[in-house]
Amino acid sequence: MRWKKRALALMLVLACLLPRRESVPAGGRATVEIGETPPTVAITFDDGPKASTTARLLDELALREVPATFFLVGREIADNEELVRRMAREGHQIGVHSYAHIRLTGLSRSDFDADVGRERAQLSSLLGEGEFWLRPPYGWADSTVQARAGAPIVMWSVDTEDWKYRDAGHIAGAVLGQVQDGDIILFHDIYDSSVDGAIQVVDALLARGYCFATVEQLLALKGIRAENGTVYRSARPEGIFKTWDFQ
Ligand SMILES: [Zn+2]
């Protein structure tokens, strides 16, 4: 029984249309069994918060009860504190994308701490103590960034290149043509076309039977123990990097 309860608890954090098999014994109550874990992905958004686009994205995600992960730029937080509180309240994961959207490779220890530490302090004072996982700008990291990260490092396995195309249909098509179970999908919530594209992706994948989770939930669901400094491109074995050198 114990594993069943645990599976049920994990399922309940996911947003999706769960596959169910109902059986109704004669004269008895219907029981619902939950089948195999459906394919699950994490949608992630960098470079916000931005008042207009991020608020609209949160509205659309709330309508669908879909959780996401936001890697925030610290200097954008001060003018959007209520939006950040709302993200946390509505079950989204919040992470660090550097205070000033700078390259984290090649920094001195004090410059690294002045940037990443400054954003962590901002988030802690706004939301309370938390882990605040790291996504380095441009995906640039090396062994030094890994050693200093103080949290798991999240990259991506599906790149929408939404900053380049600015076209919702193109963005959605790029994801839907290649998405797989365990993917981490990269968007930027500072463009209207990215919000529209992301919502098209969510609706299409819900219709295909996919579930959505935050990155932290996705790794846990797949039995992966997240470790500080390890790079996660996806929640599949080939997406985990103890060493990473891309800059
Ligand atoms: Zn960025």
Kindly list the catalytic residues. Answer: 46, 188
Sorted by where each starts, the structural domains of the chain and their CATH numbers stand as 37-241 (3.20.20.370)
Neighbours of 33 (CB within 10 A): 10
Q: Give me the pLDDT at residue 247, please.
A: 77
Whole-number Å distance between alpha carbons of 194 and 159: 12
Contact between 118 and 74 under an 8 Å Cβ cutoff? The reply is yes
Q: Give me the pLDDT at residue 94, please.
A: 98
Handedness of CA 182, 135, 120, 148 (dihedral sign): positive
How far is ligand 1, taken at its centre, from the CA of residue 91, in Å? 22
User: Is the backbone peptide bond immediately before 136 cis, with ω within 30 degrees of 0?
Assistant: no
How far is ligand 1, taken at its centre, from the CA of residue 235, in Å? 21
Q: Give me the pLDDT at residue 107, please.
A: 97
Q: Give me the pLDDT at residue 1, please.
A: 37
Q: Which two tokens stand for residue 194?
A: 């990215």
How far is ligand 1, taken at its centre, from the CA of residue 47, in Å? 5
How far is ligand 1, taken at its centre, from the CA of residue 60, in Å? 22
Give pLDDT tens digits along the chain (247 positions): 344 444 444 544 566 755 444 444 555 444 444 557 899 999 999 999 999 999 999 999 999 999 999 999 999 999 999 999 999 999 999 999 999 999 999 999 999 999 999 999 999 999 999 999 999 999 999 999 999 999 999 999 999 999 999 999 999 999 999 999 999 999 999 999 999 999 999 999 999 999 999 999 999 999 999 999 999 999 999 999 999 988 7
Handedness of CA 101, 107, 112, 114 (dihedral sign): negative
Contact between 155 and 233 under an 8 Å Cβ cutoff? The reply is yes
Whole-number Å distance between alpha carbons of 164 and 173: 14
Give the DSSP letter string of 138-201: GG-B-HHHHHH--S-EE--SEE--HHHH--HHHHHHHHHTT--TTBEEEEETTSHHHHHHHHHH
Closest CA to 216 of 99, 116, 91: 91
Q: Give me the pLDDT at residue 27, please.
A: 52
Q: Give me the pLDDT at residue 18, please.
A: 52
How far is ligand 1, taken at its centre, from the CA of residue 58, in Å? 19
Q: Give me the pLDDT at residue 37, please.
A: 83
Contact between 202 and 66 under an 8 Å Cβ cutoff? The reply is yes
Whole-number Å distance between alpha carbons of 138 and 211: 27
pTM of the predicted model as reported, rounded to 2 decimal places: 0.88
Radius of gyration, alpha carbons of the chain: 19
Contact between 234 and 155 under an 8 Å Cβ cutoff? The reply is no
How far is ligand 1, taken at its centre, from the CA of residue 35, in Å? 38
